[in-house]
Structure 1
Amino acid sequence: MKIFLDDEREAPAGWIQARWPDEVIALLKTGEVDTVSLDHDLGDDRRGTGYDVIRWIEEAVALRGFKPPHILVHSANPAAAARMHAGIAAIANLMKTRGA
């Protein structure tokens, strides 16, 4: 399954649309997500950002042995995208230390 998190852009054909981080996390918990594409700014920071999904994945990898999906970032916010890419790199490093 491919998940597209964005509050404005529509998901590409073959992708499942999500508007909020909790929707993405619920789908990640199924273990059936192979790719996730994340926007950062979702219109209501109290409900979360795309970075919150990255933080959840990082914690799940570190503490629960979660196998992360392929993670893409399509945010138009350069500073937030850089932070998200740093989080993805941290997840990759965790996977290396696990030998995965």
Structure 2
Amino acid sequence: MRVYLDDERATPDGWLRVYWPEEAIALLESGQVEEISLDHDLGDDEHGTGYDVVLWIEEAVALRGFKPPRMFVHSANSSAKEKMLSGIHAIQALYRGRSRPDT
């Protein structure tokens, strides 16, 4: 499954659109998400942002051995995009570190 978190843009073909972080997280918890593309600004920062999904994935990888999907950021908010990409890089490094066999 490919999940597209956004409040305004058209959903690309082959992607399942969600509008809020909790919807994306519920799908991630199903274990069936192969790719996720995130917008940051979703129209109500108190309800959450795309960065909240990045934080959830990071915690799930660190504490529960969650296998992260391929992650993309399509936000036009350049500073938030950089923050989200930094989080994704940290998640990937954490997952790679957990995936290595003990030597």
TM-score range, shorter chain: over 0.9
Please tell me the root mean square deviation across aligned C-alpha atoms, in Å.
0.8
Whichever residue aligns with residue 46 of structure 1, its letter is E
Report the AA paired with residue 94 of structure 2.
L
Indicate the residue corresponding to 1:94 in structure 2. 94
Rounded Cα–Cα distance in structure 2 between residues aligned with 1:96 and 1:68: 10
- The amino acid across from 2:5 in the alignment is L
Give 1:96 shift: 1.9
Q: Residues 34-53 of structure 1 correspond to what in structure 2 (within 5 A)?
A: 34-53=34-53
| Structure 1 residue 64, shift from structure 2 partner | 0.1
Whole-angstrom CA distance in 2 between matches of 1:20 and 1:46:
11
Q: Distance in 2 between matches of 1:4 and 1:46?
A: 20
Question: Residue 74 of structure 1: CA displacement?
Answer: 0.1
Post-superposition CA distance 1:43-74 (Å, at most 9, x none): 00011000000000000000000000000000
Unpaired stretches in structure 2, ≥5 consecutive residues: none
- Code of the aligned partner of 2:21: P
**Identity rate, percent:** 60
Give, in angstroms, the shift of residue 82 of structure 1.
Answer: 0.2
Superposed, which structure 2 residues align to 1:1-100 within 5 Å? 1-99=1-99
Distance in structure 2 (CA, Å) of the matches to 1:56 and 1:96: 17
Q: For this pair of structures, how many residues does the alignment match? A: 100
Deviation at 1:99, TM superposition (A): 2.3
In structure 1, the gaps of 5 or more residues are none
Q: Please report the TM-score for the alignment, with normalisation by the length of structure 1.
A: 0.97
The 2-side partners of 1:95 and 1:44 are apart by 31
